[in-house]
C-alpha cells in the first residue's frame, strides 16, 4: 500500500515514486551502496536517463549489469569521474553541462567514509575534496541545466554525523582543511559542509543570484540516509583497526539495506511530488521524509559563506 498517506513518514520506493518518464538524473556514486539504490529506483520508475558518476570501472560495470534487474538498463550510463582530481572533475562537469537535455535531479551522493587522512593529487584532504569540493564543481557547472528544468531537485547525501563536526570549524583556509583531525572528524566535517552549501545555495536562490529567477521551482535539500550496510562502514574498520572491526560487526545487523531502505530520503527529495507541493527547499530530511533542524553549526550562515568562499578560492587555485 502506498505510504503517501497523510502523516506517514515512510516512503516505499517501489510504490511511492511517480512515473519518471522523460526525466534526466545524475547520481554521483551511483555505482555502489546507497547511490546504486537510488539509480535502481530511478530506472525502475522509467527515468529517461540515469547518469552515474563514479571512479572505479569494475564497480560501474557490475552496477550496470545489476541495474538490468530494475528496468531498461540502456537508460543508465556511466561516466568516469575521479573526484580526487579537480581538473578531471571539471572536464566531466563541462561535458555534462553541454547537454541540451534538462536535468531533473542532481544527486550528490558519492563519498568517502570515516577513514584515515590522505591527500589527493590536488594536495587537499581527500574527504573534503571527494565529499564536498569536487561535487561543488559539478553543482556549479550543472546549475544552468537544473535551472532550465521546472521542478528540478538538488540533493546532498549528508549524515547525522554532521552534528559531531569539530566545534572550532571555521573553513578559513587551506591549512585548516589539510590538518589531520582524525578519521571521524574529517568525515563529519564534510557532512556539515554539505548542509551548509545546501543552505547557502538556497539563500542565493531566494536572492535571485547565480542565474536563479524569482520564484524558480527548484528544490535543494540535504538528507541523512540512516545507518546503511554498504562498503562505507568498512572504511572505518581500516581506520580504527580491531576496535573498528568489532564495532562494525556489532552494528551491521541493525543497518539498513541500501536498495530497499537507505536510498529512501534521497529518493523522497529527488522525486516526490510532496517536495514541490509543500515547497520543501533549503531543508534537512531524515528517514524517510521528516524535515528536521540540522545542528546550530549547520545553520550558521556565516560559516556557510566562509565555506563557499574557500571552495571558490581552492577551485580557482587548482583549476583556474
Ligand atoms: N552508509 C551509511 O551508513 C551512511 C550514513 C550516512 C551518510 N552516508 C552517505 O551516503 C553516501 C553514500 O555512501 P555509501 O554508504 O553508499 O558508500 P559506498 O557504498 O562506499 O559508495 C560510495 C560511492 O562513492 C563513490 N566514490 C568514492 N570515491 C570516489 C571518487 N574519488 N570519485 C568518484 N566517486 C567516488 C564510489 O565510487 P567508486 O566505486 O568508483 O569508488 C561509490 O559509488 C555518502 O556520501 C555517505 O557519506 C552513508
Residue by residue, pLDDT tens for the chain (320 residues) are 445 455 689 999 999 999 999 999 999 999 999 999 999 999 999 999 999 999 999 999 999 999 999 999 999 999 999 999 999 999 999 999 999 999 999 999 999 999 999 999 999 999 999 999 999 999 999 999 999 999 999 999 999 999 999 999 999 999 999 999 999 999 999 999 999 999 999 999 999 999 999 889 999 999 999 999 888 777 777 777 777 777 777 777 788 999 999 999 999 999 999 999 999 999 999 999 999 999 999 999 999 999 999 999 999 999 99
Q: Can you give the pLDDT at residue 7?
A: 66
Q: Can you give the pLDDT at residue 314?
A: 98
Residue whose CA is at the smallest distance from ligand 1 atom 19? 33
Residue whose CA is at the smallest distance from ligand 1 atom 36? 29
User: Is the CB of 89 within 6 Å of ligand 1?
Assistant: no
User: Is the CB of 35 within 6 Å of ligand 1?
Assistant: yes
Ligand 1: centre distance to CA 131 (Å): 9
User: Is the CB of 57 within 6 Å of ligand 1?
Assistant: no
- Ligand 1 atom with the smallest distance to the CA of 160 is 6
User: Is the CB of 62 within 6 Å of ligand 1?
Assistant: no
User: Is the CB of 122 within 6 Å of ligand 1?
Assistant: no
Q: Can you give the pLDDT at residue 237?
A: 72
Ligand 1: centre distance to CA 96 (Å): 21
Ligand 1: centre distance to CA 7 (Å): 31
- Ligand 1 atom with the smallest distance to the CA of 134 is 32
User: Is the CB of 261 within 6 Å of ligand 1?
Assistant: no
Q: Can you give the pLDDT at residue 249?
A: 73
CB 316 within 8 A of CB 253: no
Q: Can you give the pLDDT at residue 1?
A: 41
Ligand 1: centre distance to CA 247 (Å): 20
Ligand 1: centre distance to CA 142 (Å): 20
N-terminal to C-terminal alpha carbon distance within the chain = 52
Catalytic residue ranges: 187, 191
- Ligand 1 atom with the smallest distance to the CA of 232 is 20
- Ligand 1 atom with the smallest distance to the CA of 32 is 43
**Structural domains in the chain?**
12-226+260-318 (3.40.50.720)
Amino acid at each position: 500500500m502506498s505510504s503517501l498517506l497523510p502523516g506517514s513518514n515512510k516512503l516505499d520506493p517501489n510504490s511511492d515514486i511517480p512515473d519518471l518518464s522523460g526525466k534526466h538524473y545524475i547520481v554521483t556514486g551511483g555505482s555502489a551502496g546507497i547511490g546504486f539504490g537510488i539509480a535502481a529506483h530511478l530506472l525502475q520508475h522509467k527515468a529517461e536517463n540515469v547518469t552515474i558518476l563514479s571512479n572505479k570501472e569494475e564497480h560501474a560495470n557490475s552496477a550496470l549489469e545489476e541495474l538490468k534487474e530494475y528496468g531498461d538498463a540502456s537508460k543508465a550510463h556511466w561516466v568516469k569521474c575521479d573526484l580526487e582530481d579537480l581538473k578531471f572533475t571539471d572536464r566531466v562537469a563541462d561535458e555534462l553541462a553541454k547537454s541540451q537535455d534538462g536535468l531533473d535531479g542532481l544527486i550528490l551522493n558519492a563519498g568517502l567514509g570515516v577513514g584515515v587522512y590522505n591527500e589527493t593529487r590536488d594536495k587537499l584532504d581527500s574527504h573534503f575534496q571527494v565529499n564536498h569540493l569536487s561535487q561543488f564543481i559539478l553543482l556549479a557547472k550543472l546549475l544552468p541545466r537544473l535551472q532550465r528544468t521546472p521542478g528540478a531537485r538538488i540533493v546532498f547525501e549528508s549524515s547525522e554525523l554532521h552534528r559531531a563536526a569539530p566545534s572550532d570549524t571555521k573553513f578559513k583556509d587551506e591549512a585548516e582543511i589539510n590538518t589531520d583531525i582524525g578519521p571521524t572528524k574529517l568525515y563529519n566535517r564534510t557532512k556539515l559542509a554539505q548542509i551548509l552549501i545546501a543552505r547557502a545555495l538556497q539563500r542565493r536562490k531566494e536572492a535571485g543570484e547565480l542565474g536563479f529567477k524569482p520564484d524558480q521551482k527548484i528544490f535543494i535539500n540535504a538528507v541523512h540516509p540512516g545507518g546503511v550496510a554498504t562498503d562505507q562502514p568498512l572504511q572505518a574498520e581500516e581506520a580504527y583497526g580491531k576496535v573498528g572491526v568489532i564495532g562494525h560487526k556489532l552494528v551491521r545487523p541493525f543497518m539498513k539495506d541500501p536498495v530497499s531502505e537507505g536510498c529512501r530520503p534521497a529518493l523522497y527529495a529527488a522525486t516526490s511530488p510532496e517536495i514541490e507541493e509543500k515547497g520543501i527547499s533549503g531543508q534537512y530530511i531524515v528517514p524517510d521524509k521528516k524535515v528536521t533542524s540540522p545542528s546550530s553549526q549547520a545553520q550558521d550562515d556565516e560559516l556557510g559563506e566562509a565555506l563557499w568562499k574557500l571552495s571558490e578560492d581552492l577551485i580557482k587555485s587548482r583549476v583556474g
